[in-house]
Structure 1
Amino acid sequence: MTPSGPKHRHTSSIKASRPRSSTKGPLDAPDENVLPTSAAGDTVSSPRSRVESPIEWSHISAASSARNSTFSDVDTISTAVNKNFSFLLRPDIFHPLSQLEISPAFREKLSSPSANEPSATSLATLDKLLNNGHFLHAAHFSAAVLTSSALSPTDHESIFSLLYIRLACLELTGNTLLAAQEAKALEDLSSSFYFIDAELDAAAIGQDEASQARPRHIVPWPLRVLAVRLQSIGFGDARRGIQGLYELGLEPRRELSRNGITAEEKVVWKSRLEDLGIRVVNALVEMGDLDGARRSLASLTAPSRGSERDITRMALLYLKVGDVDAARKLLESRPEDDGNLLHPLLSMAEGKYDEAVMAWKTLRESNIGKPDEPLISQNLAVCLLYTGKLNESRDLLESLIESNHSFQSLTFNLATVYELSSDKSRALKLRLTERIAKHPPSADKNWERPNVDFKI
């Protein structure tokens, strides 16, 4: 009988293997002295290649990039997954996409794979769409592939990769509510349906690994994390999302306490656990529970030295909850990060715009030609606006457009400057859309720009 979807919760095997922790939170890593160590030369490898798919991911760069975004070596399943996922391939799951909110300069006809089109051709097209930043088109195209006859209902890797592309692209194009409704199709991701039998997986690895038998989740980690957020939105229950993040945290803790874990695996699972902690705080902020967010943020372990990305995320969360002093202390505890972009942001948060202007100018001079230069220049322009230098702010933002930069906050801020500096702002904003439409495509930014990005 074809399964209609996951129905039963998987509980016993997970709870039995969860390490006891009376003094640490569920999103804290186990103590280092109880973690098994491994040789520095250990590598994460798959003892058995994955089951061949009707869609040949390994031959298409598009599929490879999409697959790499959802699959990690630590998530490799060693045995065949004989499950039917036809309940995720129903056409009624996926909503039609509209371009009414897209600026006319960026509208193009949405394409679908033709009948009997080879899967390699379809995936090459999807790869091109992603590489050119056509995320709305990629969302439409991935749904078309998911509902086509070319995809086997037992090909879990391809299905989950395409589903991740669909949901992520919907979020990137401002269609979060549609993504939230479609994510419901996954149902309960903690169901036993989504786990592979521990004994079978151990047998596939080898007899010497039998002692490490443990339940394995077949859904890629990034898709599970994304689904937790989207399902909480879809069901209108924000606390469901927080609960889901804590449930996800059980797996990294279990893996970190496993005997024989390699150095590379340890890094991956610790990173995932730290990421979940940040996501919990962010979810509380979105709920408006700033007190809870502050308490959760205070309980998180400070990022290790050199983790500039994690430090930035934590400092930004401190600013979001209004704790400027805590953000400043975090940055001051990292004197080696004097070039961090957050230092002038702290000045802006305190209303010290003249001081922030000087800081942004200093940073800009040291980042000429570097990836952060456009962002620094835009923030400098915002500070110039707040200090009354409207024309200088406009010239700086215009220069970024001329240099083929067009991220969302840049276009929104320039549209605001147009409104403040001209009584023909609408014409200027429409002209701005036409100028940006001539920019070369990029995989780093969404091409289908909505009207709201230009305040039209």
Structure 2
Amino acid sequence: MDQPETTGQKGHTRTRSGVKATRPRSSTKGPLEVDDTPLAAAAQPPSNPLSPGLQPPQQQHKMASSLPVGHATTRSPRTSSPLPRSPALSPGPGHLRRGPSRPKDFSFLLRPEIYHALTPFNIPPAFRNSPKQPAPDTSISDLLARGQFRYAAIAATQALTGTGTGVYPQPDPSDHAKIFNLLYTRLACLTLIDSTALAAQEAKAMGDLNSSFYLDEETLTHVVPWELRVLNVRLQAVGFGDLRRAVMSYYELVREARGCLAKARAQHDNSMRELWKERLGDLGVRVAGVLVEMGDLKGAAGHLRSLKGEGGKMGMSRGLLWLQLGDVEAARQCVEGEGEMDRVVERAVDALCDMADGQYESALQKWRRLREEEGVKDEMVGVNEGVCCLYVGRLQEGNVLLEGLVDSGKASHSLLFNLTTMYELCTERSRGLKVKLSEKVAGMKETAGGWEKTNADFKL
């Protein structure tokens, strides 16, 4: 303890107060700019920070008890057609290869108590009693190709837990590729059938994906596919009710993606370079979306202005976010470009901007020209055209337009919701029309976009 310091006057002493050394706040360089990637970033190994308080102590103890003998338990793991498997992340040039890696035990992800039962009570009778219901021995890949997402989620659970009576064999606890492929199928299908809350609870079993437990000991590459890691960020934030966690986790993925992009550029690997550029752009939009959800509109606007990239799909995503922020001009600017695809996207965003300004008559004409002149038969164009008909008072015209989309084989949630809304506005006996609509959709051919619907889709 410091000794009292005397001032020289009798009877007066002054004690030096203890001063704690503080670490100055480090400057944060925006890691989302694709074109500003130092090659030196690739030489830095990925850090593995643990988010404090992610799991309750009893859960950490349970997870630790499931780890293989000899593994350090101070860090516990943390949250249409066949789903693609992403390539493994490559380490930077500075990574050193170690000796032969020992097989990791992922049996803690194979426990039946992790996964929830899915009941058909929220499915309309037309789907529950349909002859299109799959057979018990249908493969998961076939279920995904036919849009049977609820059954695919059930089949993935049966394969993970070994409860499928031999139809779906349980993977070996060390076969991380198969385990994570099944787990991604399970969680992605749950989100597609509007069971995100269940997916968020089940994702907690993975623990901290930034833990060194999920790194290959020989190559130091991450054993979890990229798509699952991105999905896990969202589910962890929902499961723990903390959206700030998602922002921090996305930035961890951004830093890693920048290193992989730098390495691809250094090796002149154009295919990998485009892949990581696309992933960086996707992460940038996701961060902005989370900021909007958090209510940080100023931060979201500043973040969107810092993003770089071309038009197309990413331009459309940024444009929609600008519309959520109420900046119509910024939404138009982010899709300006050249090329046929960019022109279609630009005209679509322009029509959406008119709708955001309440100019539904002008928007209706733009959607109609986009469908007739450009030959765009996308369902989104038809649905928005029908919605504009509703707002300008042409309910019968909009009703016919949306029913025509259903007759052509379209059946998205947005289409069904808007059509049933028109039923409610046109007649007091709308329930009969909704039931008939559910029967019509149940008789459609199964597609990878999803076949089975819920009562909420038809507002039943």
Instruction: Report the TM-score, using the length of structure 1 for normalisation.
Output: 0.77
Q: Which has the higher contact order (CA 8 A, sep 6+)?
A: 1
| Alignment partner, residue 128 of structure 1 | 142
Q: Which has the larger radius of gyration?
A: 2
What is the number of equivalent residue pairs in this alignment?
378
Alignment of 1:295-374 (within 5 A): 295-301=302-308, 303-304=309-310, 307-332=311-336, 337-340=342-345, 341-368=348-375, 371-372=377-378, 374=379
Unaligned runs of 5+ in 2: 1-25, 42-79, 92-96, 163-168
SS of residue in 2 equivalent to 1:154: coil
Task: Work out the CA distance in 1 between the residues paired with 2:367 and 2:135.
Answer: 46
* Residue deviations 1:142-167 (CA, integer Å, cap 9, x gap): 01101116311111111000000000
The structure with the greater share of residues assigned to helix is 1
Task: Work out the CA distance in 2 between the residues paired with 1:112 and 1:94.
Answer: 22
From 168, 176, 179, give the equivalent of 2:196.
Answer: 176
Q: Per-residue deviation at 1:73?
A: 6.2
Alignment of 1:211-222 (within 5 A): 215-222=220-227
Structure 1 residues 358, 448: CA separation in 2 closer, same or farther (over 3 Å shift)? same
From 379, 387, 404, give the equivalent of 2:384.
Answer: 379
Amino acid at match of 2:161: T
| Alignment partner, residue 70 of structure 1 | 85
Matched, 1:159 2:164: no
Structure 1 residues 125, 85: CA separation in 2 closer, same or farther (over 3 Å shift)? same
Mapped contact 1:35–1:256 kept (Cα < 8 A): no
| Alignment partner, residue 252 of structure 1 | 257
Matched, 1:284 2:291: yes
Q: Per-residue deviation at 1:405?
A: 1.3
Q: Per-residue deviation at 1:371?
A: 4.8
| Alignment partner, residue 122 of structure 2 | 101
Instruction: Report the TM-score, using the length of structure 2 for normalisation.
Output: 0.76
Structure 1 residues 111, 375: CA separation in 2 closer, same or farther (over 3 Å shift)? closer
Tell me the percent identity. Answer: 45
From 90, 100, 109, give the equivalent of 2:111.
Answer: 90
| Alignment partner, residue 189 of structure 1 | 209
Q: Per-residue deviation at 1:70?
A: 2.8
| Alignment partner, residue 14 of structure 1 | none
Matched, 1:141 2:155: yes
From 425, 450, 454, give the equivalent of 2:454.
Answer: 450
Structure 1 residues 224, 438: CA separation in 2 closer, same or farther (over 3 Å shift)? same
* Residue deviations 1:257-283 (CA, integer Å, cap 9, x gap): 334362222111222112111100011
RMSD: 2.7
| Alignment partner, residue 55 of structure 2 | none
Task: Work out the CA distance in 1 between the residues paired with 2:328 and 2:214.
Answer: 43
Amino acid at match of 1:360: W
Amino acid at match of 1:161: N
* Residue deviations 1:172-205 (CA, integer Å, cap 9, x gap): 00000000000000100000100123xx33xxxx
Structure 1 residues 111, 386: CA separation in 2 closer, same or farther (over 3 Å shift)? closer
Task: Work out the CA distance in 2 between the residues paired with 1:174 and 1:248.
Answer: 26
Task: Work out the CA distance in 2 between the residues paired with 1:371 and 1:24.
Answer: 43
Amino acid at match of 2:359: K
